[in-house]
Amino acid sequence: MSKVKEYFTGLGRRKESIARVRICAGAGSVKVNKRAFDEYFCRETHRILVMKPLEITGTVNKFDVFANISGGGMSGQAGALKLGIARALLKVDAGLRVTLKKAGFLTRDARAKERKKYGRKRARKRFQFSKR
């Protein structure tokens, strides 16, 4: 007879990235797209950013994190994963809300790429002006 684990889910978004996060009781391993956490996020700053919600709540070695991330670049994916972990931790224990809210981990960063305008090279960049 197999033992069924209870998962808590959270969804995080940042720029063009979407992270679907599941956490369950465990030893503290983190898997991203079925790969090791250190292998997926090469930059130390991204790894620190992702682990902040777990560090602040003191649950680093209490939960295993499984995430599926799609879209965007590495920075956007790290931000999306951070928000997804924070939302999943809320489902585990609603008492962590004050700590996570004060640290700013429950706020979705709505900044995204601005659309290109006609008559411009990009959203705001103009073509070179020539007087003569």
63-110 per-position pLDDT tens digit: 999 999 999 999 999 999 999 999 999 999 999 999 999 999 999 999
* 63-70 β-sheet, strand order: 8-14, 17-25, 63-70, 30-32, 35-36
Cβ neighbour number for residue 100 with a 10 Å cutoff = 20
Task: Kindly report the average pLDDT of the chain as a whole number.
Answer: 94
Which of 57, 71, 56 has the alpha carbon at shortest distance from 20?
A: 71
Task: Report domain extents, the chain.
Answer: 8-103
pLDDT digits (tens, 9 = 90+) for 21-30: 999 999 999 9
- Put simply, whether the predicted model's pTM sits higher than 0.85 gets the answer yes
Structure tokens at 105: 């981990």
Mean pLDDT over residues 31-47, rounded? 95
- The Cα–Cα gap between 114 and 126 comes to 15
Please list the residues that pair with 122 across neighbouring strands. Answer: none
Distance CA 85, CA 9 (A): 8
Helix (H/G/I), strand (E/B), else coil: 22: strand
Q: What is the mean pLDDT of residues 5-30?
A: 94
Phi and psi at residue 86, in whole multiples of 5°?
-60, -40
* Residue 23: strand, helix, or coil: strand
> Which CATH architecture does the domain made up of 8-103 adopt?
2-Layer Sandwich (3.30)
Q: How far apart are CA 9 and CA 123, in angstroms?
A: 36
CB 13 within 8 A of CB 69: no
